[in-house]
Amino acid sequence: MTVAVAEPSGSWGARRGLIVLAALGLVLAVALLAGARYGLLLAIGLGFGLVLEGLRFGFAGPWRAMILRRDPSGILAQLLAIAVVALVAFPLLSGASGEVVGAAAPIGWAMAGGAFVFGAAMQVVLGCGSGTLVNAGSGNPVSLLALPFFAIGSFLGAYGLIWWTDLGALPILTLTGTSGLAVTLVLLAAVAGLLLMLAAPGTRHVPRRLVIAALLLAALAIGNLVVAGQPWGVVYGLGLWGAKGAVALGADLSGSAFWAAPGNAGRLEASVLTDVTSLTNIGIITGAFLVACWRRGGLSQPLPKLPARAWAATIVAGLLLGYSARLAFGCNVGAFFSGISTGSLHGWVWFAMAFAGACVGVRLRPILGLEPRP
């Protein structure tokens, strides 16, 4: 018989102290190596990871809850966070004179199709862009497998992005100023009202935990906008990691209009510690890892007993997540959250198409062996 021995509380407290010191040391190291601005961005990324994992706030899971159980609480919290960011972002963008930019992108065939595919793929692996980072950081085996393929897919999607956008797209359409903010808030309220109408009895209350998480995420997103000069995003950083890996293996990216563009070519040569999206991505992974370490047994997730087709589906879904997110100009963070909160109409189209894709994705999971069939 095995007897479990409890770890002394003093030892556990010392370990948690080391976790805090490690986080502070990492931020300080980046600040010293790359500059105070980049250290601050890493700290913001850590905040995202701590909130997302620590308060169990996500995007893919709440969409699944609404589709399968008609529970809108998680999406309502997302809409609250978007509204709070919009209240600050719209005035900030109006008076920024180009120093701060929004997450504006054109609406087109590739963008809409990419959003649909992304919505389906994120339900297969139960993780969007930020969710995959968080789940990988906390030791989830499925996300650990999906993440590198997400990066590869994002790199490949960016490589041929211009070809896809040439299939047809509208000019960039944005809501701006006080009137644009008012329209955005009314649309958010309308979506919230629709969700409440469709909600199952007893699910119309948003838990306090999610309200707190939404407000904290909004504060961090506003901080990201101010410090980085651009909204919170995920996909570009992952694609950049894939591109750097390709270059390290000897690939010539001069044939890609996207990666050969001066700004992107410059980032390929520069350190990831000076890329704002990479820093917040690293912070999200690290923040989730720290939360998992903080919890007793938090990293001891067993390898799930899944059939081979489930692991193969995870790889394919990871590639599709990255590729489709690049075509759609973002994931739940870059397109939905940041797009809508900074006035880009493509964020609304992305939301509708991705949600439709998610309705398909939740039904693919059991077929692909990632969960028992109902």
* DSSP bridge partners of 134: none
CB 87 within 8 A of CB 182: no
Say how far apart CA 136 and CA 131 lie, in whole Å.
8
Low-confidence residues of the chain: pLDDT under 70: 1-13, 296-300, 372-374
Spell out the domain ranges in the chain: 17-299+306-367
Residue 298 has what pLDDT? Answer: 62
- Residue 337, judged by CB atoms within 10 A of its CB (0-12, 13-18, 19+), counts as buried
Token pair, residue 69, equals 């159980």
pLDDT, tens digit, 9 for 90 and up, residues 325-371: 999 999 999 999 999 999 999 999 999 999 999 999 999 999 999 88
Number of C-beta neighbours around residue 248 at 10 A = 8
DSSP label of 180: H
Say how far apart CA 69 and CA 283 lie, in whole Å.
32
CB 81 within 8 A of CB 192: no
Residue 3 has what pLDDT? Answer: 40
Tell me how far CA of residue 296 lies from CA of 13, 301, 345, in angstroms: 11, 12, 44
Residue 18 has what pLDDT? Answer: 82
b/e burial code for range 65-103 (CB count within 10 A of at least 16 → b): bbbeeebbbbbbbbbbbbbbbbbbbbebbeeeeeebebb
Measured between its terminal Cα atoms, the distance across the chain in Å is: 38
The pTM score is: 0.93
Residue 5 has what pLDDT? Answer: 43
Contacts of 14 (CB under 8 A, 6+ apart): none
H-helix segments, the chain: 9-34, 36-54, 60-69, 73-94, 109-125, 129-137, 141-159, 161-165, 177-198, 208-228, 235-248, 262-269, 276-294, 308-327, 338-341, 346-367
Residue 152 has what pLDDT? Answer: 97
User: Which phi and psi angles does 344 have, rounded to 5°?
Assistant: -80, 125
